[in-house]
């Protein structure tokens, strides 16, 4: 006798690549891994603070503020953004219902140069798109939003990660945009809760985006492999 599995049960394992399904899945896994995801989010915030402080510094002595601003930009490029890429990987493990550890977010160090380069490529492409009447920049941002997962989890080279993100997000750009759009009121509500809720909002939004990546890669039958230092590709999961 064949066994039927309800759509709801299936969504508990792999969410459908839809806005509501991804946010629902994210909420479930957030409750399960709340402490780990919370700690990862706090680490990202703590790492981000010095960069914000440097770029927002108000120095009345000569061009000191310009120097500090440049240092702030470098800090963001070399530390803040790589840590956010690492956090994406930790969130992805939670979305897959795998045991999450705070140390997972430091996996970006194993492919650090490509993480930095990939972030720069994405930033340049999106900025150029925004200059071209804004809409192309939004499209580029959506189509390249899977780059952090690819460059950290699969340890792809920067250019290849950008190309693969573009390929994977084909047909899902609108869904990615809507997930980002829904994130706005969630963030506002988080800030309204004396600012403390903003951390919870960041957790939920990050997990929703990770859930979409998980859903899309499963739907497209994309396996994950990491290139080890010796050059051997190690399979992580496959369909």
Q: Is residue 90 part of a domain?
A: yes
Looking at every residue in the chain, the average pLDDT score rounds to 86
Q: Is residue 11 part of a domain?
A: no
User: Model pTM?
Assistant: 0.85
Q: Is residue 2 part of a domain?
A: no
d(CA 143, CA 186): 22
Q: Is residue 229 part of a domain?
A: no
pLDDT at 151: 98
Q: Which domain holds residue 139?
A: 18-223
Q: Is residue 10 part of a domain?
A: no
Domain count, the chain: 1
Give one DSSP letter per residue of 123-170, joined into a string: HHHHHHHHHTTSHHHHHHHHHTTTHHHHHHTS---HHHHHHHHHHHTT
Q: Is residue 228 part of a domain?
A: no
Higher pLDDT, 56 or 5: 56
pLDDT tens, position by position, 93-136: 999 999 999 999 999 999 999 999 999 999 999 999 999 888 99
Q: Is residue 5 part of a domain?
A: no
pLDDT tens, position by position, 143-183: 999 999 999 999 999 999 999 999 999 999 999 999 999 99
Q: Is residue 237 part of a domain?
A: no
pLDDT tens, position by position, 48-59: 999 888 877 655
Give the model's confidence band at 32: pLDDT under 50 very low, under 70 low, under 90 confident, else very high: very high
Q: What is the mean pLDDT of residues 65-87?
A: 91
pLDDT at 64: 56
């Amino acid at each position: 006798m064949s066994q039927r599995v309800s759509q709801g049960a299936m969504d508990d394992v792999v969410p459908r690549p839809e806005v509501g399904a991804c946010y629902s899945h994210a909420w479930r896994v957030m409750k399960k891994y709340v402490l780990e995801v919370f700690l990862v989010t706090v680490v990202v915030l703590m790492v981000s603070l010095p960069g914000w402080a440097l770029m927002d510094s108000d120095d009345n002595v000569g061009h000191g503020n310009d120097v500090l601003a440049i240092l702030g930009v470098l800090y963001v490029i070399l530390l803040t953004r790589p840590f956010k890429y690492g956090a994406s990987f930790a969130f992805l493990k939670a979305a897959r219902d795998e045991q999450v550890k705070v140390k997972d977010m430091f996996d970006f160090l194993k492919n650090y140069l490509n993480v930095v380069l990939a972030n720069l490529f994405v930033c340049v492409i999106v900025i150029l798109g925004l200059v071209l009447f804004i809409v192309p920049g939004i499209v580029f941002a959506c189509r390249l939003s899977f780059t952090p997962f690819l460059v950290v989890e699969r340890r792809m080279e920067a250019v290849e990660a950008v190309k693969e993100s573009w390929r994977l997000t084909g047909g899902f750009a609108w869904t990615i945009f809507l997930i980002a759009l829904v994130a706005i009121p969630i963030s506002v509500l988080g800030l309204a809760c004396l600012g403390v809720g903003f951390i919870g909002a960041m957790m939920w939004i990050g997990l929703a985006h990770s859930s979409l990546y998980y859903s899309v890669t499963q739907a497209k039958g994309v396996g994950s492999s990491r290139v080890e230092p010796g050059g051997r590709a190690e399979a992580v999961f496959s369909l």
